[in-house]
Amino acid sequence: MLSNQRLNRFKRITTSGAYYPEIDGIRFLCIVMVMLCHVTMYVQAYIAKGNVFELSPLLYAVVNGGLGVFPFFALSGYILSLPFLKAKFAKQSPPSLKKYFLRRLTRLEPPYIISLMLSFAVLVWALNKFTVNDLLPHFAASLFYVHHIFFPYTNPVVLPIAWTLEIEMMFYISLPFLLYVLYKLPTLYRRLIIFSVMIIVPLFDAGILSNYRFLPVNIPYFMAGIMVAEHVVTNENPFAFIPKKIKSLLLAGLLFLFFLSGYRALGFNSAQFNPIKLYVILALIVIDKTGYRFFANRYIATIGGMCYSLYLTHYAVISAIGRFIHYPFFGGHFTLNLLVYSFIFLVPALVVGAIFYLLIEQPAMRKNWWKKTGNKAVTTGVK
């Protein structure tokens, strides 16, 4: 096992020094589920084909791990809205919009651009799948987070998993203006709007709301995070009345039901309630500290803290290893093959992601890292 000193080498860098390990614990769960989803896609495609709806509920929840991207949206809504809401309710100095946008740009762009360039080079010169002229428009669209606009209904070609990052960037840009409008309203009207968006928007599936790559479809998840941030700043615990043991069961049950969305044996599709589920899940973990021992575990939190690097690199690692391994170790048995390939893919993905984190992402966490001075930061804390 790694010592605390070695684990600290992988901790996030923040200028505030505040660190909430349970947040990174949530990130751990999200990134692991997303990675497992991509492993199952490989196993289904090349090793043990089958109908996922015939799987057991537990295994289906693992296969459905792609839903792990949506808690990331809720976390962004929570984390990014906190300083704005503290200025509103705690009478703190309002955050500088210039610093807000500069921080997003300098913190997230270096890992993203390097990932794009590496993927572009591999696709063009290593795999010969595209010519430069063919791929350049997709590269440019992804570079400016507009691939979903110029190439709607298709995932980014250069970096397929970047569709979620385009949504995140749209949210980063719109958040200050969204909060300005929302928090001009009386509390009752504001909360009515927030909960209405969380409940009503998922019920529609037409036009732009049928394309999961656009912000309007995903705004309910960000709203869930904003609502939890308001509870935190105003010292509210909406679930304080629930007994502690019941809260633990409620958290586990909601997490399971969240990843079970779409399972036909349930008799109904609970995906429409996913934003509300995430609101309750996030509130239980962040406000009530339910499940704290698990989510704040130092190993879990450390891996969760590297989620951005893992997200950017894991798909390429799975694809690279998958080009050379197609062996059905257990015939057509889906579950056993999934266990084996999870180990084969995820261990190297974790190693590559950790190296990318140390070399690329972590240095970009430092404030004013592009200057020779101003790099005073603390190796704890969340983004």
* Contact call for residues 167 and 214 (beta carbons, < 8 A): yes
Residue 57 is assigned to a structural domain of this protein: yes
User: Looking at residue 207, what is its pLDDT?
Assistant: 55
* Boundaries of domain holding 299: 4-365
Task: Report residue 307: phi and psi, to 5°.
Answer: -60, -35
Phi, psi of 39 (to 5 degrees): -65, -45
374 domain-assigned = no
Residue 115 resides in a domain = yes
Handedness of CA 237, 239, 242, 246 (dihedral sign): negative
Confidence of residue 333 (pLDDT cuts 50, 70, 90): confident
pLDDT reading at 53 higher than 90 = no
Give the C-alpha distances (Å, rounded to integers) separating 318 from 338, 346, 349.
13, 8, 7
CB atoms within 10 A of CB 324: 7
* Tokens (6 digits) for 374: 């101003």
Q: How far is CA 17 from CA 118, 159, 378, in A?
A: 32, 33, 5
> Which of the 8 DSSP states describes residue 92?
P
Give the burial class of 180: count Cβ atoms within 10 A of its Cβ; 0-12 exposed, 13-18 middle, 19 or more buried.
Answer: exposed
What is the torsional sign of CA 143, 207, 194, 30? negative
Answering whether pTM is above 0.85, one says yes
- Residue percentage of the chain with pLDDT more than 90: 71
User: For 304-324, what is the mean pLDDT?
Assistant: 96
The Cα–Cα gap between 292 and 306 comes to 19
Domain assignment present for residue 370? The answer is no
Residue range 68-80: mean pLDDT, rounded: 97
Query: Is residue 378 domain-resident?
Result: no
Q: Would residue 205 be called left, alpha or beta, if left means φ above 0 and alpha means ψ between -120 and 50 degrees?
A: beta
Token pair of 87, please? 């200025």
Which has the closest alpha carbon to 35: 263, 342, 337?
Answer: 342
Residue 301 pLDDT more than 50? yes
Would residue 371 count as lying in a domain?
no
The predicted model gives 357-379 an average pLDDT of 75
Who contacts 172 (Cβ-Cβ below 8 Å, separation ≥6)?
A: 76, 80, 101, 104
Domain count for the chain, please give it. 1
Mean pLDDT of the chain: 90
Residue 267 lies in a domain: yes
For residue 53, is it within any domain? yes
Give the model's confidence band at 210: pLDDT under 50 very low, under 70 low, under 90 confident, else very high. Answer: low
- Provide the pLDDT for residue 108: 94
